[in-house]
Protein backbone atom coordinates (compact mmCIF):
# COMPACT_ATOMS: atom_id res chain seq x y z
CA UNK A 1 0.00 0.00 0.00
CA UNK A 2 1.32 3.43 -0.90
CA UNK A 3 0.96 5.47 2.30
CA UNK A 4 2.53 8.53 0.68
CA UNK A 5 -0.30 8.73 -1.87
CA UNK A 6 -2.95 8.24 0.81
CA UNK A 7 -1.47 11.02 2.92
CA UNK A 8 -0.89 13.47 0.06
CA UNK A 9 -4.47 13.03 -1.13
CA UNK A 10 -5.86 13.80 2.33
CA UNK A 11 -3.45 16.70 2.87
CA UNK A 12 -4.40 18.31 -0.43
CA UNK A 13 -8.09 17.93 0.47
CA UNK A 14 -7.46 19.47 3.91
CA UNK A 15 -5.59 22.42 2.43
CA UNK A 16 -8.27 22.94 -0.23
CA UNK A 17 -11.00 22.93 2.42
CA UNK A 18 -9.05 25.29 4.66
CA UNK A 19 -8.42 27.73 1.83
CA UNK A 20 -12.01 27.71 0.58
CA UNK A 21 -14.70 26.74 3.10
CA UNK A 22 -12.50 27.61 6.07
CA UNK A 23 -11.80 31.09 4.76
CA UNK A 24 -15.43 31.66 3.85
CA UNK A 25 -16.43 30.64 7.41
CA UNK A 26 -14.07 33.34 8.71
CA UNK A 27 -15.44 36.05 6.40
CA UNK A 28 -12.33 35.92 4.21
CA UNK A 29 -12.25 35.57 0.45
CA UNK A 30 -11.76 31.92 -0.53
CA UNK A 31 -8.72 31.05 -2.62
CA UNK A 32 -9.20 30.21 -6.28
CA UNK A 33 -8.10 26.84 -7.65
CA UNK A 34 -4.97 28.50 -9.07
CA UNK A 35 -4.14 30.07 -5.70
CA UNK A 36 -4.65 26.73 -3.94
CA UNK A 37 -2.40 24.98 -6.45
CA UNK A 38 0.29 27.65 -5.95
CA UNK A 39 0.00 27.39 -2.15
CA UNK A 40 0.44 23.61 -2.30
CA UNK A 41 3.34 23.97 -4.72
CA UNK A 42 5.01 26.66 -2.55
CA UNK A 43 4.64 24.46 0.54
CA UNK A 44 5.61 21.19 -1.13
CA UNK A 45 8.82 20.75 0.92
CA UNK A 46 6.92 21.14 4.19
CA UNK A 47 4.15 18.82 3.03
CA UNK A 48 6.70 16.18 2.05
CA UNK A 49 8.47 16.59 5.41
CA UNK A 50 5.13 16.06 7.15
CA UNK A 51 4.51 12.87 5.19
CA UNK A 52 8.02 11.51 5.82
CA UNK A 53 7.69 12.18 9.53
CA UNK A 54 4.31 10.49 9.78
CA UNK A 55 5.45 7.43 7.85
CA UNK A 56 8.67 7.17 9.88
CA UNK A 57 6.93 7.54 13.23
CA UNK A 58 4.02 5.23 12.44
CA UNK A 59 5.54 2.57 10.19
CA UNK A 60 4.57 -0.06 12.78
CA UNK A 61 0.96 1.15 12.99
CA UNK A 62 -0.27 0.36 9.51
CA UNK A 63 -3.93 1.03 10.31
CA UNK A 64 -3.15 4.69 11.07
CA UNK A 65 -1.30 5.14 7.80
CA UNK A 66 -3.84 3.21 5.75
CA UNK A 67 -6.77 5.32 6.94
CA UNK A 68 -5.45 8.50 8.56
CA UNK A 69 -7.85 10.88 10.28
CA UNK A 70 -7.77 14.55 9.29
CA UNK A 71 -7.16 15.80 12.83
CA UNK A 72 -4.21 13.42 13.21
CA UNK A 73 -2.66 14.68 9.97
CA UNK A 74 -3.29 18.27 11.10
CA UNK A 75 -1.19 17.74 14.23
CA UNK A 76 1.81 17.26 11.95
CA UNK A 77 0.89 19.44 9.01
CA UNK A 78 0.01 22.65 10.82
CA UNK A 79 3.31 22.66 12.68
CA UNK A 80 4.95 23.08 9.27
CA UNK A 81 2.56 25.32 7.35
CA UNK A 82 0.44 28.20 8.59
CA UNK A 83 -2.99 28.40 6.99
CA UNK A 84 -4.70 30.37 9.75
CA UNK A 85 -2.77 33.62 9.28
CA UNK A 86 -3.13 33.97 5.52
CA UNK A 87 -4.72 37.19 4.31
Range of the domain at 65: 3-80
* pLDDT range class, residue 59, cuts 50, 70, 90: confident
Q: Per-residue pLDDT for 85 more than 80?
A: no
| Cα(19)–Cα(32) distance, integer angstroms | 9
Within-domain flag for 67 = yes
Residue-wise pLDDT tens digits, 7-27: 999 999 999 999 999 999 889
Within-domain flag for 86 = no
Within-domain flag for 48 = yes
| Cα(39)–Cα(46) distance, integer angstroms | 11
Within-domain flag for 87 = no
Q: Per-residue pLDDT for 77 more than 80?
A: yes
**Plot region of 8 (φ>0 → left; ψ -120 to 50 → alpha; else → beta):** alpha
Residue-wise pLDDT tens digits, 26-50: 899 999 999 999 999 999 999 999 9
Q: Per-residue pLDDT for 87 more than 70?
A: no
Within-domain flag for 85 = no
Number of domains present in the structure of the chain: 1
* Helices vs strands, H then E, count in the chain: 6, 0
Give the three-class secondary structure for 41.
helix
Within-domain flag for 56 = yes
Amino acid sequence: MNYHNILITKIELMITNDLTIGRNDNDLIPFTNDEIHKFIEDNNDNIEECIRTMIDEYSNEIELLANPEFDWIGEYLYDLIDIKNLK
